Every structure is written in C-alpha cells, then in structure tokens.
Structure 1
Amino acid sequence: MFSPEGPTLRELAVQALSSVEHGYDLLAPKFDHTPFRTPDSVLEAVASALEDSGPYDDGLDLCCGTGAGVEVLATLCRAGVTGVDFSAGMLDVARARTPAPGPRVSWVRADARALPFTAAFDLVVSFGAFGHFLPRELPGLFARVHGALRPGGRFAFPVLAPPRPSSPAFWMLLGFDAAMRVRNAVWRPPFVMYYRAFRLGEVRRALEAAGFSVTLRALPEFGARGDGSPRVRLVEAVRAADGEGAAGVGSGAGSGSAAVRPPGA
C-alpha cells in the first residue's frame, strides 16, 4: 500500500498517537506517497463533472492537504483559487506544488469549522476530509461553507458507496474505526478519523438544513455495483441565488458510510 518513499511503520505510529493537526504536520513530507492521497482518477472525474456548471471565478479547496484539489480548481476557476487547511506542514508541501500558469493561488491556515471567509467563492470542493469531523460537527461545518459561498455558489465533493458486509473492505474499515475509538478512549490528544461515520443520508439532511439545494450525480467513470447503484457519487450542494429559496432536490438519495481518504488532499 505504501511506496518506498512513503512513511515507515514507526512514523505512522507516531502520527497516530499525535493530534490530528500535529500528526499531519509529521506526515506531510511523505503524504503524497501514501494511499491516503485522493487518486488522480477521482480528481479528474470530479473536474470533468464540474465543467458542466462552470467556469467559475473563485474556488476554495476545503481541507486542502497537499493541494491536489487546488490543482482541480485551477482548471475550473478564472480568477483565483484558495486552499485552506489547519496543518502548517501540509500547507508547506502544497505551496511547493502551486500550479502555474493559471489563476492566482492563495494558501490559508485555518480550521474548517471556523472559516474566515464570507461570500468569497463560487465553488468549494473537498476531497476525503470528512472523516475528521464528528457527525455532530457537520451542521456547523456546512453552515460555514454556505456562508463562504456567494449566492448561487456550489459545494461539491465525491462520496464512495459503502462496502457491503461480504466485502473484505467492510471489515477492514469496521476494524479501523473500532481501533480508533479504543485509541481515543485511552489516549490523549484524540485523533479523529472515522471512515464509517459519514453517512450520505444524514449528510444530505445536514446540507439542506444549512440552506443548500442538494443533487447527487453518479460519476460514470467508476461504474455501478451489482444492484445498479453507482460506485461513486458527486454531491453538489448549491446556495440559493438572491431571491430564491433553497429546497432539497436531486436523485438517488441513500444512506450509508462513505469510504473516503484522509485527510483533505
């Protein structure tokens, strides 16, 4: 799962016993050589899907990590792109890979739960960061994103269909979450990362409560499961334009955990 340039087992253990912020500061130099980085296939599929509703002026990569999502935004946004993350180490790596030429790129260190932006963006994306937020934190997080968007702006992120109990991946993720809960019960500071706590039905309701109109779109590049449901969906949550109400719309709503990569690049 890890390339020779990736972290050693000891380095991963030290990271796992740190806080989320410090853990990713430590992992940052080798993060792009781990399986935690969002695959290029997912980044490319999301960029392709968002071309239909673009171009955009200003974009934000929420929990940007080492900046892979910023590279997606640079192909979609004409004016400027911003990456925000609370790990200084991840931002240092991201700055070194700033795409050029293209729109202006800015990097901001901030907690996503306290975004320092108001009506500043037309598009917000996020890749794999939501496992770092407890379910009770999502309504506040989505409200902050809503406030950071201009009227008519769009919040988009991919979600993977949860593995079925017959799949080894189901038991691997179940075991990972169980291990993290035990770790956090006996060790401080906590390291919040739960793969199975991000449930699509609950997420959709929280987005709608924050004022978004929500659509779920299948990403056909990844095919369908045995029952015909998509393997990967793109959630598109739109802030109502001035004078319009926000009503939940869309297709294919469902529930289940999204198996997504930590942390946010």
Structure 2
Amino acid sequence: MFGPEGPGLRELAVQVLSSVDRGYDLLAPKFDHTPFRTPDSVLDATASALRRTGPFDAGLDLCCGTGAGVGVLRRVCRGSVTGVDFSAGMLAVARERTRAAGPPVAWVRADARALPFRPVFDLVVSFGAFGHFLPRELPGLFAQVRSVLRPGGRFVFPVVAPPRPGSLEYVMLLGFDAVMRVRNAVWRPPFVMYYRAFRFGAVRRELARAGFRVELQVLPEFGRRRDGSPRVRLIVAERPEGEGVGISHPCP
C-alpha cells in the first residue's frame, strides 16, 4: 500500500493515536505517497465532467489536504481559487507545492463545520474527506457549504460504489472501521476516520434537506459493475437560483 517514500508503520501508529488535525500535521510531508490521496484518475475525470458544465468563477476545495483538488479547480475556474483545511501541516505542503505552478491560491486554515466565508463561491469540490465526519455532522456540514455558495452555485464530489458484501475489500473496510471504533472507545483524543459511515442514500437525503437540488452524473472513465451500475458517480448539488444569500458563521 505504501511506497518507499511513504510513512512507516511507526509513523502511522503515532498519527492514528493523535487527534485528527495533529495526525495529519504529522502525515502531511508524506501524504501524497499514501493510498489516502485521491487518485489522479478520479481528479481528471471530475475535471472533465466539470468542464462540460463550466466554466466557473470562484472555486473552493473543501478539506483540501495537500491541494490535489485545487488542481481541478484551476482547470475549470476562471476566477479565484481557495483551499480550506484544518491541518496546518497539510496546508503548508499544499502552499509549497503550488507556489510556482500558476495563479496564486488562497489557503485558509478553518474547520469545514464553521466556514469563515461569505457566499462568494460558484463551485465547491471535495475529495476523500467525508470519512472524517460522523453521520450526525452531515446536516451542519452541508448547511455550511450551502451558506458559502452563491445562488446557482454547485457542490460537487465523486462517490465510489461500495464494495459488495463478502468481498475482500468489504471485509477490509469493515475491519478498519471496527478497529477505529475500538481505538476511539479506549483512547483520547478521538481520531474520526470511518470508511463505511458515508452512505450514498443518506448523503442524498441530507443534501436535499439542506436545500440543494441534487443530480447524479456517471463518470464513464471507470466503467460499470456486473449489475450495470456505475463504479463512480459524481454528485452535483446545486443551490437553487432566486434565493437570498445569508452570511455564514465565522470560525471560533
């Protein structure tokens, strides 16, 4: 799973026994050499889908990490691009890697559950971050995203079809989540990372409850499963036109 440039077992153990933000501060220098980074194939397919409906003006990468999703925004946004994350270490790596690679990016340290922005974005994207939010936190998270979008703005993220029950991948993810639950029951601070907590049906319902108009787009680059269902979908949640805009709450 990890190449020679990735973290060792001891480094991963220290990370997972830390808080989420401290853990990612420690992992940041080697994060792009782990399987936790969103693959370029998913980023490229998302950018291609967004080009068909764009261009957009201002874009925000929610929980940006080391900035992989910012690269997508730079391809489809003709205005400003912002990355927000709560890990200072991840932001430092992102800032360094994009310093000499095109137009400047605004990097903001903040909690996604309390975004410090007015409704100024036309596009919000996020890649691989939702396992850090418990199901009960999704309504507040989606409300925050909606509050920083202009009317007509879109919240877009890819969703991979879940593994079939009984498959090796299913068993591995089930085991990982079980280990995390045991760890959080006996160790503080908690480290929230659950691969099976972000359920497709529940996500659609919570987006609709938050006031989004939700549609699904198939990413054809990844083909279909044996039952004909797509392997990867893009969720496109639009804040309807004709609404007034409110002011989001600043970070504490």
TM-score range, shorter chain: over 0.9
- SS at structure 1 position matched to 2:80: strand
| TM-aligned CA deviation for residue 13 of structure 1 | 0.3
SS for the counterpart of 1:112 is coil
User: Could you say which residue in structure 1 is the equivalent of 2:228?
Assistant: 228
- Deviation string for 1:77-118 (max 9, x for gaps)? 111100000000000000011165544410000000000112
Equivalent position amino acid for 2:224 in 1: A
Question: What value does the CA root-mean-square deviation take over the aligned residues?
Answer: 1.2
2 CA distance for matches of 1:221 and 1:159? 14
Aligned to 1:73: 73
Alignment of 1:40-189 (within 5 A): 40-98=40-98, 102-189=102-189
Q: Can you give the 5+ residue segments of structure 1 that lack an aligned partner in the other structure?
A: 245-265
Who is 1:34 aligned against?
34
**Whole-angstrom distance in 1 between the partners of 2:120 and 2:193:** 29
**Identity value in percent:** 76
- Say if 1:59 and 1:73, in contact at 8 Å, map to a contact too: yes
In structure 2, the partner of 1:210 is: 210
Secondary structure in 2 matching 1:23: helix
> Aligned equivalents of 1:222 and 1:152: distance in 2?
28
- The one-character-per-residue Cα deviations of 1:3-56 (angstroms, maximum 9, x if unpaired) are 101101000000010000000000000000111110000000000001111101
- Measured in 1, the distance between the counterparts of 2:243 and 2:148 equals 18
Q: In the aligned structure 2, how far is the partner of 1:110 from the partner of 1:243?
A: 26
Answer yes or no: is the 8 Å Cα contact 2:151–2:243 preserved in 1: no
SS in 1 for 2:57: strand
Q: Answer whether contact 2:21 2:86 (CA < 8 A) is retained.
A: yes
Q: Is the contact between residue 71 and residue 99 of structure 1 (CA under 8 Å) also seen in structure 2?
A: no
Unaligned runs of 5+ in 2: 245-252
Alignment partners' CA distance in 2, 1:57 and 1:101: 19
Distance in 2 of aligned mates of 1:72 and 1:185: 38
Shift of 1:166: 3.1
TM-score, structure 2 length as denominator?
A: 0.95
Partner of 2:6: 6
Aligned residue type for 1:119: P
Amino acid at match of 1:62: L
Contact 1:28–1:89 (8 Å) recurs in 2: yes
Which letter does structure 1 place at the counterpart of 2:171?
Answer: W
Q: Give the match for residue 249 of structure 2.
A: none
1:253 maps to: none
